[in-house]
Amino acid sequence: MSINPVAVSDRVSLEVDIACVGFGPAMGGFLTTLARGLLSPDGTPAVESAAMPGLPPQVVCYERADDLGFGVSGVVTRARGIRESFPDLDANQIPLATGVTVEQVVYLLDPIGASRRSPTLRAADAVLRGLGRLLGVRHHALPLPWIPPFLSKHGGLVMSLGQFNQWVASQLMTTGAVQLWPATPVSAPLIEDGRVVGVRLADQGVDKKGHPDAGYMPGMDIRAALTVVGDGPVGAVGQQLDAHFGMPDEHHQRDWAVGMKMVVDLPPDCALQAGTVLHTLGYPEPEIFGFLYVYPDNVASLGIFVPSWFDSPVRTAYRYMQHWMQHPYLWKHLSAASLRSWGAKSLQESGWRGEPYLAGDGYARIGEGSAVPTCSRVRAWTRPGPRARSWVKRCLSC
């Protein structure tokens, strides 16, 4: 096949006002607030573009995934930030969203002797089993009589993050104030003289090693006065910024958790009602946390977190999830369920120490790549350390 390579000098450059990387919930929130500021009450542009005078401000967001709402993503949230971004929020407008109705934290005993429990935990388990029904142990599980504050989502929402992102994207697109480009990965920040001046989009039509192949097209250079990076917990663009500018003193990003999750259709006679939020601990290993959230129409999202402080895992995260979901306490609901989809996502777990420079010349960082995610809050709670109090304080305020 003859290939007509395009010289790199043919790389096209485009001037915009604000270039954004990644369309996750953080970027959705940022763009929603920004779009409001860019429009007059009558919906006309409130300011003019500096990059393209005579036009409204050019705000362009690039998302690498084929869709603006993708992934296997069930979440429960107090929705404070969401309600701030959408003061008139009607959760019924968001597919698969519903209010939290039932919350339970459950300690799972090991029903088959598969987990590596310390002698102390084994002794505690034996006591629990001995006192059994008196304490409320059923199906090898003890529902806790209280919910730790950071897990309490009373008044919050259960929803699919993918559906939510799609909903936010549709709201944004109707404003006409921002452009959203799915299936458009960013390969690198453009840095000149210590200033971020935009981003370079990934080259198209390259072979596995990145060399030009059939249909080669160099990615455009998008030059912008401001670049906003919200590319998630392990974003390549954020990592390149960290490599170039370094991290604040004593800060580092080196702890990540893995979340394995699936979405299922529960059987029609399932006893779990929409809005149910179950969190589990204790099994398949004491370090592994589980969650099960029930959406409307008998759809549920469930999965586990395998934290970074979990030493020497002996099974894959996928296998751990299968052990977890087959625990009798959960399996009674799930054995007749059918799988819709499954997947994995990482979580930034470096906490405050993982906070990079949040803003610099020409750029800003937002979202999980910029600070503390859920699992770190769990870590603070389970492993109190010198910073635990501030972690918990922060999580209580979210």
- AA letter at 275: G
Interface residues with ligand FAD (CB under 6 A)? 21-27, 62-65, 75-77, 161, 185-186, 230-233, 235-237, 259, 261, 303, 345, 347, 367-368, 373-374
Give min distance, CB of 23 to ligand FAD, in A.
5
Q: How many CB atoms lie within 10 A of CB 120?
A: 8
- Per the DSSP assignment, residues forming a β-bridge with 226 are 18
Question: Read out DSSP for 107-155?
Answer: EEP-SSS-S---HHHHHHHHHHHHHHHHHT-BTTEEE-SS--GGG--TT
Length of the chain: 398
Identify which of residues 108 and 158 has a Cβ nearer to ligand FAD in the complex. 158
- Residues 199/222, Cβ–Cβ less than 8 Å: yes
Identify which of residues 31 and 137 has a Cβ nearer to ligand FAD in the complex. 31
- Per the DSSP assignment, residues forming a β-bridge with 305 are 259, 289
Give min distance, CB of 186 to ligand FAD, in A.
4
Give min distance, CB of 304 to ligand FAD, in A.
8
Give min distance, CB of 165 to ligand FAD, in A.
8
**Using CA atoms, how far apart are residues 121 and 210, in angstroms rounded to an integer?**
51
Identify which of residues 125 and 231 has a Cβ nearer to ligand FAD in the complex. 231
Give min distance, CB of 324 to ligand FAD, in A.
12
Give min distance, CB of 360 to ligand FAD, in A.
18
CA 42 to chain centre: 34
Question: Read out DSSP for 33-72?
Answer: HHHHHHB-TTSSBSS--SSSTTS---EEEE-SSSSSS-S-
Identify which of residues 22 and 56 has a Cβ nearer to ligand FAD in the complex. 22
Identify which of residues 58 and 348 has a Cβ nearer to ligand FAD in the complex. 348
**Using CA atoms, how far apart are residues 285 and 319, in angstroms rounded to an integer?**
12
Identify which of residues 290 and 362 has a Cβ nearer to ligand FAD in the complex. 290
